[in-house]
């Protein structure tokens, strides 16, 4: 007969894979919104490419997974219920922002979820504040870098091709944008699938299956596959917000956005820093828009996105806290 602890472990793994699937369709826009809006790729071709390269990117490293799994809380304060409540809190916020077409951060959501669940279980003293500060610093700095690099990169391209006719320039960059979108999809996999790898491995350590934190290859494959399927499902609401409502983009702008964003994300992933791909690419679009003129940016959309960013960690933490309070009497702590 199956024991309660094993059933809880299965629930945690299932919830983490559901989160990865939701993350896939929630964040599809990160990789393909610009190339779809500029018609560099059809929607179907863009999604197939993004799903394939998300899977490939998720399989190359586990540094971000280790940061999520070991950098926020002490393992002694983690139970299956804590991990389950944290994931559910993140899922709730992701679905709310997806419904309203807001490109919020799944990275922020899972971090907020874990914080809220740990607080409900063991209080604030159980949180590793030094590790959390490092993670939050990376999540805050990456959009700033995205905006700056997007702006500078776009200005340089304008200057280098200043004598080129806009029609010819966009024709050439439409081809290059396919390459940059592929790079962005790959970088998304290196960053986002690893969050679920981290929490599943954390649950396996808590259960006793693993003695030390090391992501098994089976967990890597499962999370990469879930994200790839989620990406294939598409996230049309957010694609519209990012790809056309925020800033009107031409192929040259899309190439700049995707290349600059992928550079920031891959650089951070190499150091195990959990960036938000949503924040990076949205801020890079902002930088590119500002290089054109101030009114090239839809500031009403920018305001909605900013509100979602600010609310993500506290909202997902609150959802996880409430989930823990509701489920722990039913399923145990």
pLDDT in tens, 249-298: 778 888 888 888 888 888 887 777 777 777 787 788 888 888 877 776 66
Position 322 scores a pLDDT of: 94
Residue 74 has pLDDT above 60, yes or no: yes
pLDDT digits over 139-174, tens only?
Answer: 778 888 888 998 898 889 888 887 777 666 777 787
Cβ 208 vs Cβ 178: under 8 Å: no
Q: Is 311 part of a structural domain of the chain?
A: yes
Work out the angle at residue 332's Cα, subtended by the Cα atoms of residues 329 and 333, and round it to the nearest 5 degrees.
105
Give mean pLDDT, residues 60-86: 75
Domain count, the chain: 1
- The neighbouring-strand residues paired with 297 are 247
Q: Are 113 and 82 in contact (CB under 8 A)?
A: no
Collapsed DSSP state (helix, strand, coil) of residue 323: helix
Print the domain residue range for 46. Answer: 4-326
Residue 235 predicted with pLDDT over 70 = no
pLDDT of residue 321: 94
Task: Tell me whether residue 260 is in a domain.
Answer: yes
**DSSP 8-state class, residue 294:** G
Q: Which residue has the tokens 């899977």?
A: 55
103 pLDDT band, cuts 50/70/90, is: low
**What does the chain come to in residues?**
333
Structure tokens at 31: 């990789």
Residue 324 — pLDDT band, cuts 50, 70, 90? very high
Q: How many C-beta atoms surround the C-beta of residue 158 within 10 A?
A: 15
236-248 confidence digits (pLDDT tens): 555 555 545 556 6
**Residue predicted with more confidence, 237 or 319:** 319
Average pLDDT, the chain: 79
Sign of CA dihedral 202, 316, 280, 174: positive
**What's the pLDDT at 116?**
92
Is 333 part of any domain?
A: no
Q: What is the pLDDT of residue 137?
A: 79
What is the per-residue pLDDT for 317?
A: 93
* Residue 331 resides in a domain: no
**Six token digits for residue 231:** 């990406």
Rg, Å, the chain Cα set? 20
């Amino acid at each position: 007969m199956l024991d309660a602890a094993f059933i809880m472990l299965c629930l945690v793994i299932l919830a983490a894979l559901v989160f990865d699937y939701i993350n896939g369709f929630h964040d599809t826009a990160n990789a393909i919104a610009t190339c779809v809006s500029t018609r560099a790729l059809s929607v179907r071709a863009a999604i197939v490419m993004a799903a394939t390269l998300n899977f490939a990117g998720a399989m190359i490293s586990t540094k971000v997974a280790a940061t999520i799994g070991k950098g926020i809380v002490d393992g002694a304060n983690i139970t299956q219920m804590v991990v389950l409540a944290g994931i559910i809190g993140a899922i709730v916020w992701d679905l709310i922002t997806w419904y309203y077409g807001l490109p919020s951060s799944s990275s922020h959501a899972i971090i907020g979820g874990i914080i809220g669940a740990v607080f409900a279980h063991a209080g604030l003293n159980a949180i590793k504040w030094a590790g959390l500060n490092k993670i939050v610093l990376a999540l805050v700095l990456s959009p700033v870098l995205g905006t700056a690099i997007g702006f500078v990169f776009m200005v340089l391209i304008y200057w280098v091709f200043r004598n080129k006719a806009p029609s010819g320039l966009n024709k050439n960059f439409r081809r290059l944008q396919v390459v940059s979108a592929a790079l962005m999809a790959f970088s998304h996999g290196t960053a986002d699938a690893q969050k679920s790898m981290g929490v599943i491995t954390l649950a396996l350590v808590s259960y006793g299956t693993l003695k030390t934190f090391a992501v098994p290859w089976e967990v890597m494959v499962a999370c990469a596959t879930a994200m790839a399927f989620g990406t294939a499902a598409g996230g049309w609401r957010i694609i519209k917000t990012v790809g056309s409502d925020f800033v009107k983009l031409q192929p040259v702008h899309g190439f700049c956005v995707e290349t600059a964003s992928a550079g920031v994300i891959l650089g951070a992933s190499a150091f195990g820093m959990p960036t938000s791909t949503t924040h990076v690419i949205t801020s890079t679009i902002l930088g590119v828009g500002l290089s054109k003129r101030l009114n090239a940016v839809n500031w009403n959309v920018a305001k909605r996105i900013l509100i979602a960013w600010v609310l993500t960690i506290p909202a997902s933490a609150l959802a996880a806290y409430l989930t823990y309070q509701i489920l722990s009497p039913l399923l145990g702590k």
